[in-house]
Each structure stands twice: as structure tokens, then as C-alpha cells.
Structure 1
């Protein structure tokens, strides 16, 4: 039996259904797929950014005003070279903070060699220093510089220091002066003067070039002082004005509250050198009682540098030595 012809069977193709759309997972669920090193770096970077931002906020809030420049205060140098004026509590002593215009008895060591420092007085006054201490242990008042006013203007406005009189000669003091022998040479100041052989005792000079004091008087708290140095204040155009400022400066070496009354104002000659002399009394109170010291300041022009200053003051408790003032002034010579 012959095989019957058959038709080919149709090809059956089964179509696969399309894949379902991806499911969106929450952000926190997807963090698990991120490497941990990336997470750590991100955390560290975020913390650093927050720290920088916080520091910037703190700077602008608290540090802005601190960086704002303020006006400068008065110059210390001016207060150092300007003698004190009443009512001010600022401190700036041009030299040492020890009152010696009438030096407290027992406060100065005896038998010390006379010191001659190589540093100039002008250098020592260019730095700030404590206010001079008065004999009563209180700081002498020092004037703060006033803008637009010179040292001479301030001195003329000081009620402790009256205006200088017309030329007036220093009177000769009665009594026998202390004997002298030889001369004292102040090489730093460029001046020489008679050496007293008795009574006046040489003591440590610093910051002066030379310094001598009288023995303490019984019942007195102060003693006489004789000192020399290059003038420690601003030099003026006229030597008379410089002497005026120097006399005012010597109030640092007298008791607090001292006032000046003039007894002499005259040109002088030390050898062939020109100079100016001021004589004055310094009035003050000690223990509620009125006292006075007789004093003199002499300035002598020297070939180089500032004029030489010679300062002597003797309290009323030692008035028998007032004649030493005349001896000293008449013996001045340049080196």
C-alpha cells in the first residue's frame, strides 16, 4: 500500500511575554549597592565642609570688630621727655623712679663707686618706665601729651611752674661753703666742677652721670642732692626754654605736690661755653607741715650732644649747706 502524501505541519512559535518593568527601590535600599569606601569619603567630606562653614561663621560674628584698627594712643616717648603735670595718673619718668630732689634719708647706699655708663641718658629716656615715686611713696603725676601742643606749651600751662621772670641774678648765700679739693669730671656730660671734700657723699650714679648726697638730717625725711647728666628732656631752640623744662622735670625728685617759685634766671658762662642758670625754691608739705628746698639748674652748651645739666637741691633742714649752691655754679667748666 502506497503511502499517502501528507501536508507539512505548521511551525508553532511560542512568543515569550515581555520582561516586567524594573521596580524602583527606595534610596536607603539602594545604599547597600554603593561601596563602603565611597560612603566613608562622602561622610568625611561633609563633616569637613560643616567645620569650615562653622569656623567662618564664628570669625565673622566674633572676630570682625577685633580686626578693626583703632586710633593710636599718645606717644610714650613724648610722656617720657615731658615733665609731669598735676592731676594726671600716667607714668613716664625720664630717669630713675626715685625722688632725690630731697632724697629720703637712708634710701641711698653709701660708699658706692661713681658709675659712668656708656649709654646716653637720651637713650634711657626713650623707653617706658614707671612713674617717679615721691618721698611719700606715691607716684608723681605725669601729664599726658595733648595733641597739637609742644612740651614747652604744656610746661607753661602747668600751675606748679610759674612763668620765668625777667633776668634775675642768683643771690649769694650766707655762710661758709663746704671745702673743695680737686674736680669732678663728668665725661658723659662734658662738664667738670669742684669736688666737695666733706659732707657730700658719692653714691651710685645711675642713671645720672655723677651723683652726690648730703647725710640725713636728724628728724628730716629728705636730704640734699647734687647730680649731673646730659639734659634729659627735649632740647628747645632757646637754652633758656630748655632750662625751664629741665627745672620742671626736677619736680620728679621732690615730694609729691611740690610747686616752684623762681629766685634767679640768668645767662652764665662756663669757661668759654654759654649756658643758662635758673634758681628756685620748691614748696611742699611733709607730715602736714610746710617745707621748702632751695634748688638750682644750670645748663651748659657742650661741643657735641645735648647740653650738660647740673642739678642741686637742698632742703630747709640742711640750709647751712645752701652756700654750696654758689660754690658749685661758679666752678662749672667744660671738659
Structure 2
């Protein structure tokens, strides 16, 4: 019996060892069902300076190649689709794209055609004897006859308008003010930018067709047609140095519904003077 008990004890010991091996040895990973490996959680920030690495932890080689220059700050706007070094054409009526001058933006605007030498001068009309004085721009401009009348000038400095018509908000307008855009070296270029700016006061989708272009004393005059849908207006701008910190601008526009007053555009173009 002592032998039997001893044999049973040996069998029990062998079974216990087998169970311990099963519990200690890890199981093989399942290659198919294994998910993505996640990074360990970041260490909590320390309130003091980071300890210096031990010599055994230091490495003479960097873990990643050094940057060739300062890193660019993240952009706050939408990413550009243009290739590096390629300029982005500004959209019509929008603000200037980075790196563009005012004239480059003008030439990129499909609403404003190139002003060629083929655009002729216009005959000058008699401006009349009555004038409106604009002391802010340093200009004196014709006081147009009826049905024109003076009107609240804001946001301009002087304003004359034609009567309102039923069924439309468009009517003739003649205004003056200090130049609302950046002055260019050439009065002609300044007038071009001013004409583009006047599209803000025409219906959406308006386009310019040049009718006349010529120098005036101390500045430049442009006359043009503004087309929008099936209708159009005649308009003109005169940019002139009135002796102020900025040149003065005279701008007139008359829709085709009041075409009888198109003749007054010639009076404006020929009648702008420096305030004496």
C-alpha cells in the first residue's frame, strides 16, 4: 500500500506541473484576428524639468533626419490646389490674392477687357456754367440740368440722381469722392482700377466694354458700356488730381431705361475741373 500511495503522489505531482506550465506559458497570437497596434498612453506632463538621459540611453545619432529649414506655421485658411510656385488667379471682384498687384488683379478680371490703342477719344461737350464744389476731393463738377437733382451724398461727397422709375431700382447717378482705390503711377491705370471699382454699383454679373479713353488735365477719363443680362448702362469715370492727399473721382452712370440722359455723360467727362 505504501508503494501505491507513493505512485499516486508521483502522478499528482506530474499533473500539477503540467497545469502550471499551461498557466505560465502564453498562447500564440492569432494573426488573422489581431487588431491594429495602438500606441501606449502618453506619459503625464511633469511640473519640473525633464531628467537628463543616462549615458546608456543617449545615442550619438538622431532618431529622425534634421529639418532643412524652419517649419511652416499651419494655415488658417483652405489649402491651395496650386502647385508650389504657381500663382492663383484671383476671382472676379474678390480681394487680391497673395503676391498679386492691383493691376495684375485687374488684368485677371474677365469683367474688364484690356484697354487697347484702338479705343478712340470722345468729342467733348459743353459742361454748362453751373458747378458743384467738392472740397474733399478738390474738384468742381457740372451741375446737371433737370431732371437731375441733388440728393443725399453719403457715402460719397456729392451726388446727383435721375428720378426713380417704376419697376426698377436702377436710375442715373453722378457722384464725386476722394479716390476709393489705390492710386497707381499712371493716371490711366488709376482710371482703369476706378472703372473696375464702379462695377460694385452696377447689377451683379456686369461687364465692361470700352467706348473712349483720353487724358484730361491732371488725370484721365474713361467712358464705357456696362452690360448686364439684356440691359446696359453708359458710364464714365474721371480721375483728377485736385491737390488733396488723394486724387478725386467723378463717376456717372445712366441705365438704358433713361437713355435720353446719355448725352449728359459727355458733359461730365468734359466738365470736371480742379477746384480753384
TM-score band, normalised by the shorter chain? 0.5 to 0.7
String of CA shifts for 1:243-271, please: whole Å, max 9, x gaps: 000000000000000000000111012xx
Q: Structure 1 length normalisation: TM-score?
A: 0.54
Q: Is the 8 A contact 1:208 1:227 kept in 2?
A: yes
Aligned positions of 1:62-211 closer than 5 A:
70-71=74-75, 85-86=91-92, 142-166=93-117, 168-171=120-123, 182-211=130-159
Residue 319 (structure 1) aligned with residue 259 (structure 2): yes
Q: Is the 8 A contact 1:278 1:297 kept in 2?
A: yes
Aligned positions of 1:1-335 closer than 5 A:
70-71=74-75, 85-86=91-92, 142-166=93-117, 168-171=120-123, 182-269=130-217, 274-285=218-229, 290-335=230-275
- Aligned to 1:322, what secondary structure does the other structure show? helix
| Cα distance in structure 2, aligned partners of 1:171 and 1:188 | 29
| Cα distance in structure 2, aligned partners of 1:266 and 1:237 | 16
1:307 Cα shift? Answer: 1.1
String of CA shifts for 1:103-159, please: whole Å, max 9, x gaps: xxxxxxxxxxxxxxxxxxxxxxxxxxxxxxxxxxxxxxx313212110110111100
Instruction: List runs of 5+ in structure 1 lacking aligned partners.
Output: 1-52, 57-67, 75-83, 87-141
Q: Is the 8 A contact 1:165 1:262 kept in 2?
A: no
String of CA shifts for 1:52-86, please: whole Å, max 9, x gaps: x8998xxxxxxxxxxx9644769xxxxxxxxx943
- Aligned CA distance change for structure 1 residues 72 and 268 (closer, same or farther; 3 Å): farther
1:204 Cα shift? Answer: 1.5
In structure 1, the residue matched to 2:38 is none
| Cα distance in structure 2, aligned partners of 1:149 and 1:240 | 19
| Cα distance in structure 2, aligned partners of 1:311 and 1:280 | 11
Q: Is the 8 A contact 1:180 1:197 kept in 2?
A: no
| Cα distance in structure 2, aligned partners of 1:329 and 1:184 | 14
Count of residues in Structure 1 that have an aligned counterpart in Structure 2: 196
Cα root mean square deviation, aligned: 2.7
Instruction: List runs of 5+ in structure 2 lacking aligned partners.
Output: 1-43, 48-71, 79-89
**Moved >4 Å (runs of 4+):** 53-56, 68-74
| Cα distance in structure 1, aligned partners of 2:108 and 2:128 | 40
Larger radius of gyration: 1
Q: Is the 8 A contact 1:181 1:197 kept in 2?
A: no
- Aligned to 1:223, what secondary structure does the other structure show? coil
| Cα distance in structure 2, aligned partners of 1:281 and 1:158 | 16
Q: Is the 8 A contact 1:243 1:277 kept in 2?
A: yes
1:219 Cα shift? Answer: 3.9
Q: Is the 8 A contact 2:178 2:249 kept in 1?
A: yes
Q: Is the 8 A contact 2:124 2:269 kept in 1?
A: no
Q: Is the 8 A contact 2:237 2:269 kept in 1?
A: no
